[in-house]
Amino acid sequence: MDLDIMAMPTTPKATTSSPAAYYVAKPPPPPPLGYAVHNKAAAAAYDSYDGRHGGMVATTTTTRSSSSAARHHHHHHHHQQPAGARALDGVLLLLRAAASVMAFVAVALVASCRHGDWMEFARYPEYRGLLGASALACAYSAAQATRGFRRMRASGRAGGGLADFAGDQVVAYLLITASAAALPITLRMRSAVLNVFTDAMTAAISLAFIAFAALALSAVLSAAAQPY
């Protein structure tokens, strides 16, 4: 009996194939375009199924962020000017505004000297020249100050190129020439008589000298501000 049992053929047991035995986890779908990845570690784990470290989306997003940051930095640096340059522009603006005011007062003083007889400024070519030079300096300085102020509000710099440098020099030269021509005759008049005419002319010449100094200094600072 025992021999018969031992001699009986043994049939292998049928193995039941379970779906769980052959289940392979599917990789997650890729993120949509434009998906901002903020965690690089998570991005690497998320896209590791395609064999690329970090994934294409993370790389693209990082590149876009870097380009945007670079553009923002360039734009910020373009508008942020050095403190020294802004201070120099402010000084130039003040000098031209002061020259405009001084020249305007000089024009008003000379034009008011119309008291008849010898106290008429139109009788003297020196005073006519002083009036013309002061009027030109007033108009030029006012225009330069206005333009510089608008530039500072728009771009942070008052600007100023070689044209401004040359203009300051020319107008300053005209002022000093007219003032120097009117000074001797005024001194001769004051040695003989002191009145409202000679006092007004003396004040006008003094203000023209001050306007010349302001424009001359403005020309020097404009030359210093030029990029070489």
- 114 phi and psi angles, rounded to 5 deg: -135, 70
Which range in 38-42, 77-81, 93-97, 218-222 is most confidently predicted, on average pLDDT?
Answer: 93-97
Mean pLDDT of 17-42: 56
Residues in the chain, how many?
A: 228
Residue 207 has pLDDT above 90, yes or no: yes
- Secondary structure of the chain in HEC code, one letter for each residue: CHHHHHHCCCCCCCCCCCHHHHCCCCCCCCCCCCCCCCCHHHHHHHCHHHCCCCHHHHHHHHHHHHHHHHHHHHHHHHHCCCHHHHHHHHHHHHHHHHHHHHHHHHHHHHHHCECCCCCEHHHCHHHHHHHHHHHHHHHHHHHHHHHHHHHHHHHCCCCCCHHHHHHHHHHHHHHHHHHHHHHHHHHHHHHHCCCHHHHHHHHHHHHHHHHHHHHHHHHHHHHHCCCC
Q: What is the mean pLDDT of the chain?
A: 75
CA-closest candidate to residue 179, choices 149, 218, 213: 213
Q: Residue 78: pLDDT band by 50, 70, 90 thresholds?
A: very low
Lowest mean pLDDT among 62-66, 104-108, 193-197, 213-217: 62-66
**Distance, CA of 179 to chain centre:** 37
Nearest CA to 201 among 101, 96, 129, 98? Answer: 129
Q: What is the structure's pLDDT at 173? A: 94
Confidence of residue 140 (pLDDT cuts 50, 70, 90): very high
Q: What are phi and psi of 55, to 5 degrees?
A: 80, 155
Contact criterion met (CB below 8 Å) for 183 and 207: no
Instruction: Identify whether the C-beta of residue 43 lies closer than 8 Å to the C-beta of residue 36.
Output: no
| CA 19/CA 27 separation, integer angstroms | 18
| Lowest-confidence region among 87-91, 102-106, 155-159 | 155-159
The per-residue pLDDT for 202 is 95
Residue 124 or residue 17, greater confidence: 124
pLDDT score recorded for residue 221: 85
**pLDDT at 52 > cutoff 50:** no
Q: Is the pTM of this model over 0.75?
A: no
| pLDDT confidence bin for 57, thresholds 50/70/90 | very low
CA distance linking residue 160 with residue 149, whole number of Å: 11
Q: Is 226 or 16 the better-scoring residue by pLDDT?
A: 226
pLDDT digits (tens, 9 = 90+) for 98-122: 999 999 999 999 999 988 888 999 9
Section 20-37 average pLDDT: 58
Binned at pLDDT 50, 70 and 90, residue 158 comes out as: low
Residue 153 clears pLDDT 90, i.e. is over it: no
